[in-house]
């Protein structure tokens, strides 16, 4: 029985991105079957190749972020390399880039040029502040987008400065919006007979779009959401607590029936039956009291016992997982969220599984991030370049 094709099989994606936002967007496409050609500078390639923990000189992050992609080296300042890219564009469905606005235009590779070459092309443009507006020419990393988009302001404790989330979440959120926009543009192109279009994603807007009720609460009431540490403001109880053995556990008992079960389970029948605590408004009014009760109970028991009681009472809860916890967790393992692969020297290692899970046409990892320029010759041969021409291009510094 033949395996089902992946949902994006048949689509060709060109990636001009580096580091996080653009490459993460194209990684998602590659995981679900698109042919992704990652264009890299011959001079070292994507800087992500050297970020964080290295294995024999290459980032372990790279092997994940570039999985299922082909690496093509092009010096886009060279006319011959630009000609190669234009030929690829004529066959492509999506082009993903995350240069500062105006960079591709200066190279003669802006939207108007590429759209004329291929009217059906969808161009995903990820940048700090978008392609328009007074800030469009300024550099903007994910950290800036998280700050301007409102996330950093509300992250941390009220008596301390704002903190980051621990990962470059702004870049990743922007990548998700980029993929969503690309798929919507393809839907328009293929179902409504439309042409390609630009998907313009600003990092600060990608973060801003996730900010829940922040805008109407300020506009209607002048309310500014502040940092509240580990609690969920206005929704009680939901917080992180520390166990007797120094572990941390998230407890979400903010549903009315859940709260009652929780209080009964920990021997606080008085609070379970208190009519003033029967809804969220009443509980939030006595928030400090309730968190004190929960803190004392959690602190009296080791993590295993806390989780056992909460599981029995059907109260949503979880330990705060480290990477080590994930590697031994049966849920992660049952869902194939730690996939085995092999590094270039054959050493086995684990990488994150595929999200989301599709029942009929699931994504998969076919190969890990490639060596710099690993597929250059094969791609050029497909375009009709012979070995002598490819050697000449290399000698000229075009590839």
What's the mean pLDDT in 370-388? 97
Q: Name the active-site residue from 43, 137, 159, 171.
A: 171
Confidence check: pLDDT of 233 > 90: no
What's the mean pLDDT in 13-34? 97
**Cα 165 → chain centroid:** 13
**Positive or negative torsion for Cα 324, 325, 328, 331:** negative
141: left (phi over 0), alpha (psi -120 to 50) or beta: beta
Q: What's the burial of 330, exposed, middle or buried (CB within 10 Å: 0-12/13-18/19+)?
A: exposed
- pLDDT digit string (tens) for 304-356? 999 999 999 999 999 999 999 999 999 999 999 999 999 999 999 999 999 99
What's the mean pLDDT in 20-27? 98
User: Virtual CA dihedral for 45, 47, 52, 58, nearest 10 degrees?
Assistant: 10
Report percent pLDDT > 70 for the chain. Answer: 99
Backbone angles phi, psi at 201, to 5 degrees: -115, 120
How does DSSP assign 312-380, residue by residue?
HTT--EEE---HHHHHT-HHHHHTT-EEEEE-TTS-EEEEE--SSPPSSS-----SPPPPTTTTHHHHH
**Structural domains in the chain plus CATH codes:** 12-210+336-396 (3.40.50.10540), 238-319 (3.30.1540.10)
Confidence check: pLDDT of 20 > 50: yes
- pLDDT digit string (tens) for 187-211? 999 998 889 999 999 999 999 999 9
- Provide the pLDDT confidence category of residue 3 given band limits of 50, 70 and 90: low
What's the mean pLDDT in 354-359? 97
Q: Is 256 a catalytic residue?
A: no
Backbone angles phi, psi at 341, to 5 degrees: -145, 180
What pLDDT score does 76 carry?
A: 97
- Provide the pLDDT confidence category of residue 4 given band limits of 50, 70 and 90: low
- pLDDT digit string (tens) for 120-171? 999 999 999 999 999 999 999 999 999 999 999 999 999 999 999 999 999 9
- Provide the pLDDT confidence category of residue 1 given band limits of 50, 70 and 90: very low
Look at 348 and 3; give whichever has higher pLDDT: 348
pTM for this one? 0.94
d(C-alpha 66, C-alpha 70), whole Å: 8
Which residue is listed with tokens 């730690």? Answer: 338
Report percent pLDDT > 90 for the chain. Answer: 96
């Amino acid at each position: 029985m033949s395996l089902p094709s992946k949902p994006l099989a048949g689509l060709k994606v060109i990636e001009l991105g580096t580091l996080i936002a653009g490459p993460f967007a194209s990684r998602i496409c590659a995981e679900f079957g698109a042919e992704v050609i990652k264009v890299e500078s011959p001079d070292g390639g994507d800087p992500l190749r050297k970020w964080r923990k290295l294995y024999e000189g290459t980032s372990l992050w790279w092997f994940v972020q570039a999985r299922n992609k082909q690496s093509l080296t092009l010096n886009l300042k060279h006319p011959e390399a630009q000609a190669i890219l234009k030929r690829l564009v004529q066959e492509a469905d999506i082009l993903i880039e995350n240069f500062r606005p105006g960079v591709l235009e200066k190279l003669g590779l802006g939207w108007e040029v590429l759209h004329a070459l291929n009217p059906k092309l969808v161009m995903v443009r990820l940048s700090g502040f978008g392609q328009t507006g007074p800030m469009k020419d300024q550099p903007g990393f994910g950290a800036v987008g998280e700050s301007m988009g409102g996330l950093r302001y509300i992250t941390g404790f009220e008596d301390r400065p704002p903190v980051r989330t621990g990962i470059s979440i702004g870049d990743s959120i922007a990548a998700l919006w980029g993929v969503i926009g690309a798929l919507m543009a393809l839907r328009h192109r293929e179902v409504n007979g439309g042409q390609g279009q630009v998907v313009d994603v600003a990092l600060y807007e990608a973060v801003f779009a996730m900010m829940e009720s922040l805008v109407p609460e300020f506009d209607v009431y002048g309310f500014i959401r502040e940092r509240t540490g580990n609690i969920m403001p206005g929704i009680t109880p939901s917080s992180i607590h520390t166990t007797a053995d120094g572990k941390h556990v998230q407890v979400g008992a903010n549903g009315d029936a859940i709260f009652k079960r929780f209080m009964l389970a920990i021997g606080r029948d008085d609070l379970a039956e208190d009519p003033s605590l029967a809804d969220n408004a009443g509980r939030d009014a006595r928030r400090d009291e309730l968190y004190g009760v929960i803190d004392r109970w959690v602190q009296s028991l080791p993590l295993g016992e806390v989780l056992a009681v909460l599981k029995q009472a059907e109260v949503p809860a979880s330990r705060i997982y480290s990477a080590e916890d994930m590697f031994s967790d049966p849920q992660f393992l049952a869902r194939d969220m730690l996939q085995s692969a092999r590094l270039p020297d054959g050493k086995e290692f684990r990488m994150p599984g595929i999200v989301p899970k599709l029942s009929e046409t699931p994504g998969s990892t076919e190969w890990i991030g490639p060596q710099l320029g690993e597929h250059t010759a094969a791609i050029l041969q497909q375009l009709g370049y012979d070995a002598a021409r490819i050697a000449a291009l290399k000698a000229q510094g075009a590839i």
